[in-house]
Amino acid sequence: MLQIIGTPAKRVPGGTLEQQSCLSPLVGGVTKFSVTVTEIAWASWARWDDFGTTFPPRLDVVGDLLRKIPKVDDLLRHEEWQRRLASFPATLSKDMLRITLDELRSSIKEGAVEVLPTSEKIIADTAKKVQDSVKPGLRTVINATGVIIHTNLGRSMLSRAAVDAIMKVANNYCNLEYDVGAGKRGDRYEHCLSVLRRLTGAQGALIVNNNAAAV
């Protein structure tokens, strides 16, 4: 890649690029030189207006790298794919593979990739994307904000007894809306309404999931 250090190039009559007062690793000590447009295969996305001090990659190099990108079907049959991704849903793995290949194509067109990664590297990058996508989004953090009931951090924590009670019921079927004593459908709110009435001394109670619903 030819790199020019100095003032940006400009287009001049006659179809040449002229660089004024520049220093170049390939043209030492020369203060002015011209390069004909036909001598360089510019990338299709390069424009005269935003041409900077680094020449974009040649079209033949970019095209050669793009043509050498492994096909999806070949990667799916690769031994490394079977070892790393056979246990994940096929649709998810294919989607992540297409994203990986799209990112690779973009990097090649931008000139960020000069050597095509191996099939094993492409599969490894895809496997990381798949693994990251199936990780649970919620995880424990340390609240160092000084705010005890913090909305962004899950508000109040549940006690161990409450968590154990939830886990015991959540792992099984339960009588959520079934009156076991009467043998018929019951009221899901009754499980805690009686407790609230005893705690508050109120004749009745209503349970909502946020304060706005209580208005």
The C-alpha atoms of residue 180 and residue 102 are separated, in whole angstroms, by 58
Q: Please check whether residue 105 lies inside any domain of the structure.
A: yes
Q: Which amino acid is at 81?
A: W
Domain count, the chain: 3
Domain that holds residue 68: 61-134
- Looking at the structure, tell me whether residues 80 and 39 fall in a common domain: no
Q: For residue 122, count CB atoms less than 10 angstroms from its CB and return exposed for 0-12, middle for 13-18, buried for 19 or more.
A: buried
Residue finishing a domain among 86, 102, 134: 134
Q: Please check whether residue 165 lies inside any domain of the structure.
A: yes
pLDDT at residue 138 is higher than 80: yes
pLDDT band of 189, cuts 50, 70, 90: confident
Residue finishing a domain among 87, 102, 134: 134
Across the range 106-124, mean pLDDT stands at: 94
Characterize 200-212 residue by residue with b for buried, 16 or more Cβ atoms within 10 angstroms of its Cβ, and e for exposed. Answer: eeeeeeeeeeeee
Across the range 147-165, mean pLDDT stands at: 90
pLDDT band of 46, cuts 50, 70, 90: very low
- Looking at the structure, tell me whether residues 107 and 130 fall in a common domain: yes
Angle among Cα 85, 87, 91 to the nearest 5 degrees reads: 70
Report residue 16 as tokens.
């040449």
Characterize 162-199 residue by residue with b for buried, 16 or more Cβ atoms within 10 angstroms of its Cβ, and e for exposed. Answer: eeeeeeeeeeeeeeeeeeeeeeeebeeeeeebeeeeee
Q: Please check whether residue 2 lies inside any domain of the structure.
A: no
- Looking at the structure, tell me whether residues 17 and 47 fall in a common domain: yes
Determine if the pTM surpasses 0.95: no
The C-alpha atoms of residue 97 and residue 89 are separated, in whole angstroms, by 12
Q: Please check whether residue 120 lies inside any domain of the structure.
A: yes
Q: What is the pLDDT of residue 190?
A: 84
Mean of the per-residue pLDDT values for the chain? Answer: 78
- Looking at the structure, tell me whether residues 45 and 69 fall in a common domain: no
- Looking at the structure, tell me whether residues 73 and 128 fall in a common domain: yes
